[in-house]
Structure 1
Amino acid sequence: MTSSSSSRPKILVTRRQFQDQVDRLNEVSDALVLDRPAPAKPDELRVAATNAHGIFAHITDAIDASVMDAAGSNLKVIAEFGVGYDNIDVDVASERNIAVANTPGVLTETAADFGFTMIQAAGRRIAESDRFVRRGEWQWFEPLDLLGVDIYGSTLGIVGFGRIGSAVARRAVASGMNVIYLTRSQPEEDYGCERVNSLNELLERSDFVSIHCPLTPETNQLIGAAELKRMKPEASLINTARGPIVDTEALTTALQNGDIAYAALDVTDPEPIAPDHPLVSLENVTIVPHIASATVGTRRKMSEMTVENILATLNGKLPPNCVNADRINWG
């Protein structure tokens, strides 16, 4: 834990960050950085947040009323390092006139690159094949081993056609996939893709289902046992959005029973998933540790944008990327 003390505003940075961005905060405030391998426990987070003017938050932090209580009336901004902010109680923050900000746009292309990579990894059984070699089972060329499915010419169903979902669609169309999608709002551009009217239709028609919607009360457990049974037995499910959108136990059962062929997950529920969970032992699943935005360039830009959101509030302005601006009144 690193900090300095004075009468200047206090900014809590809940995880290790790029030092040059911490230095930017320290030019005008005192940054308390929780520099540790694991996320802070709830009680540690509350103690660290005491009298904070701003919180540089991460997905691993549950920023709820108790954390805001600990910060007290000083707290003006909770700036999320990422696009999703379901770890923050925005309603409570808004009631207390606390701005909540995120980092939209900056990670779109990187996350879309990764999402499309996971589609290919599922279709061609990349992780499974890697494990096959590492176990010493590759003895000779076998014409009928580890057969995947073609990406070209297959149908991709995208659930959530926002920035990232539509960017995945661009990549899929360029690779010769047929793309259908489900979304609540009319997209600015659909790249010749087909909009469907129901989740059931998307599940039944798709060879690959890729999830890109936000986690909300409506999308929590959106994909359960009934939905998985609607998918083709040769289909793959890809989730690079939020773990709770998919029922983990139902997915495990579907993969075990052959209801679907494969899953590729950047997110899980719970997260992280225990290494002894039955899902982890399955050959027909690829699981990686929430790394869709994990490139040096993108993570640096996310850090820069988070700092800019905080610095704006120290100057008495709303953050450039305030998600609850219509509920904030600073006079």
Structure 2
Amino acid sequence: MKLLVTRKLTDEVEARVAKEFDVTFRNGAAPMTEEEAHQALADYDALLVTLGDKLSARAFADIPRAQIVANFGVGYNHIDVAAAEAHGITVTNTPGAVTDATADIAMMLILMSARRASAGERYVRRGDWTGWTPTQFLGHHVSGKKVGIIGMGRIGTAIARRCHFGFGMEVLYTKRTPTDPGFPAQHVSQDELLQTADFVVIAVPASPATHHLIGAAEIAKMQPHAHLINIARGDIVDEAALIAALQSNAIAGAGLDVYEREPYVPGVLREMDNVTLLPHLGTAALEVRDAMGHMAVDNLIAFRDGKEPPNRVTA
């Protein structure tokens, strides 16, 4: 199979890919545009793509050559899966490998936002710190507080587990169907979660149904001392509404690893001291990126060998 790999992967994964396929490494720093994706689907039997590559319905137009699109990542909202299926193209992703790393980032953002770590670090780097004082950079305690997880899937459950066992937090969560995570957790409505949680963590997948799930009306229900944490996808939160809430101190802070128009981050957001900003680091650990890459390659090899890919996704 003739394979296109759209972005730079780890050395270990690229070596394996090179042994298994007739591969072209695009290695672009920027994601594929819709036009580039359309051409790639016409030129290659298989694509290994990732976040931002624009595989829209238009990209799948006409009769593409490609038979499979293997996504490097669990989220695949940049791929029009229905359009792919309409053209007989299989789409896969890499769940499981990202769970613990993403949950770790969520905990880091909770702690950084609550304890004002990002603002404190900038203060030290600027050379403004003149010594310890009892009222400097007062934040919020995390241990024993109430966390609300919006979306209790693999990642949401891993975050809740860390909050409960690591910090003695009371866990609230939203999910279509109640679940038993193996530790105390209360299934509540989204409104109740927003109104009562000290920390609101977004862990739902991106889809048309979750676009701007958290907007001005939802943020207004949060407590003034509450923090909003997003490690899912940027467009789940109405970024303009969040900026307005942070500017007016309607909520205490936010921790973001994802953005609505990523990689664009509004200048006003970058200038705020009550928000922690990370460059989509959720899975940025070598072991995790290796595991994600091998999972994507496993999907490609299974398809090539006439087997059902282990991580096929459907519309």
User: TM (normalized to structure 2)?
Assistant: 0.95
Q: 1:202 matched to which residue of 2?
A: 193
Q: CA offset at residue 147 of structure 1? A: 0.4
Q: CA deviation at 1:216?
A: 1.6
Q: Deviations over 1:148-175 (max 9, x none)?
A: 1111111101100000000111110011
Aligned to 2:279: 289
What SS does structure 2 have at the residue aligned with 1:152?
coil
Deviation for aligned residue 1:97: 1.8
Provide Cα deviations, 1:53-107, integer angstroms capped at 9, x if missing partner: 111010110112333347x453221111011111110111112221111111111
CA 1:238–1:39 in 2, change beyond 3 Å: closer, same or farther?
Answer: same
**Change in 2 beyond 3 A, CA 1:49/1:96:** closer
| Aligned-pair Cα RMSD in Å | 1.6
For residue 54 of structure 2, the aligned residue among 40, 62, 76 is: 62
Q: Equivalents in 2 of 1:47, 1:259: separation in Å?
A: 47
Gaps of 5+ in 1: 1-8
Deviation of 1:25 (Å):
3.0
Matched, 1:22 2:14: yes
Distance 2:40 2:67 in 1: 16
Scaled by the length of structure 1, the TM-score of the pair is 0.91
Cα distance in 2 for residues equivalent to 1:206 and 1:240: 17
Q: Which amino acid aligns with 2:260?
A: D
The worse-fitting range, judged by mean Cα deviation, of 51-60 and 154-163 is: 51-60
Partner of 2:299: 309
* Amino acid in the other structure paired with 1:46: H
Alignment of 1:37-56 (within 5 A): 37-56=29-48
CA contact (8 A) 2:42 2:65 kept: no
CA contact (8 A) 2:42 2:66 kept: no
Amino acid at match of 1:224: G
Query: Is 1:320–2:310 an aligned residue pair?
Result: yes
How far apart in 2 are the matches of 1:123 and 1:266?
A: 15
**1:128 is the counterpart of 2:119:** yes
Amino acid at match of 1:318: E
Distance 1:68 1:213 in 2: 27
Q: Percent identity?
A: 39
Counterparts of 2:171 and 2:12 in 1: how far apart (Å)? 42
Q: How does 1:155-234 map to 2 (within 5 A)?
A: 155-174=146-165, 175-196=167-188, 198-234=189-225
Distance in 2 separating the partners of 1:213 and 1:233: 23
Structure 2: unaligned runs, 5 residues or longer: none
Counting matched residue pairs gives 314
d(CA) in 1 for partners of 2:25 and 2:230?
A: 31
Give the conservation status (yes or no) of the 8 Å contact 1:12–1:49.
no
One-letter amino acid of the counterpart of residue 194, structure 1 = Q
Closer, same or farther: CA 190–273 of 1 in aligned 2, 3 Å: farther
